Structure 1
Amino acid sequence: MPAAPAPVVPKKTTRPTRISGTWVAVLVAIVVLIFLLIFILQNGGNATIHFLWGEFSLPLGVALLFGAIGGALLVAVVGAARILQLRRQAKRTATPIGRPATSSPARRES
């Protein structure tokens, strides 16, 4: 007589949460910061920076870090401006319930 098959037990799968995603992001950020610190420490030689009417002497790693921060801020400002533009456009095209969509803003008649 053949042996009875083992009962099939469904596996419990858990979905990743936002907090788990945050922890992954924190760990990646820590690794990136460690590499950045190593980069700055290994590039400690002074570099002369000419900016507008000033002349500065900074360690090369720090000067490159400032350049990267400036680029990141520029990207963030452009991204924020685009998000604001899209929000305004979405607010303009959103229609209240029961009203047909119009191309021009609705006027109140009193």
Structure 2
Amino acid sequence: MSTTSGDPTDPSTDYSSGRQRSGVPVPPSGTTPDPEATSDLHPDIARRKGIRHTRTGALWTGLVTGVLILLLLLVFILQNLDSTTLELFGWDLTMPLGVALLFAAIAGAVVIAIAGGVRILQLRHAANRQRSLTTNP
């Protein structure tokens, strides 16, 4: 025989099934488990408030990557010191092959940066136009 009233509006009635999800008991409805009471972890770690990703960490990673790339580039240039003659618009330039390839890579990066900048300005202009159309009645 049950000692509960069976009325769903009765606040003293506990209808939780007592099931477990992945080994963790399900608390009765209306209660919140205390993470500090059942955990041996530091409170910040238990609440998942550790240090994740910072701008300083990203800067450090970028600087280290940049230095490694510059070292590889220096080795490439030093191994390709054979002089070559470049002809551009009637000019004859004589320079080491590694330096010429470096200038070509820089010129390619500048072209890509200009194209990206133009696209960013185009999108900004379209966003401002859309914003002005939606805010003015």
TM-score (norm 1): 0.78
Cα deviation per residue 1:68-92 (whole Å; 9 max; x = unaligned)?
A: 0000000000000000000000000
Bigger Rg, which one? 2
Counterpart amino acid of residue 27 in structure 1:
V
Indicate the structure whose relative CO is greater, using CA pairs within 8 Å and at least 6 residues apart: 1
Match of residue 121, structure 2, among 84, 87, 95: 84
Partner of 1:108: none
Partner of 1:45: 82
Unaligned segments of structure 1, at least 5 residues: 1-6, 101-110
Rounded to whole Å, the distance in 2 between the matches of 1:98 and 1:27 is: 46
Counterpart amino acid of residue 116 in structure 2:
G
Cα deviation per residue 1:42-71 (whole Å; 9 max; x = unaligned)?
A: 100101101111111100000000000000
Partner of 2:112: 75
Identical positions, percent: 39
Rounded to whole Å, the distance in 1 between the matches of 2:122 and 2:81 is: 42
Asked if residue 35 in structure 1 is aligned to residue 67 in structure 2, the reply is no
* Root mean square deviation, CA, Å: 2.0
TM-score (norm 2): 0.63
Counterpart amino acid of residue 54 in structure 2:
T
Rounded to whole Å, the distance in 1 between the matches of 2:76 and 2:101 is: 10
Partner of 2:52: 15
Shift of the 97–81 alpha-carbon distance from structure 1 to 2, 3 Å rule, reads closer
Residue correspondences, number: 95
Partner of 2:130: 93
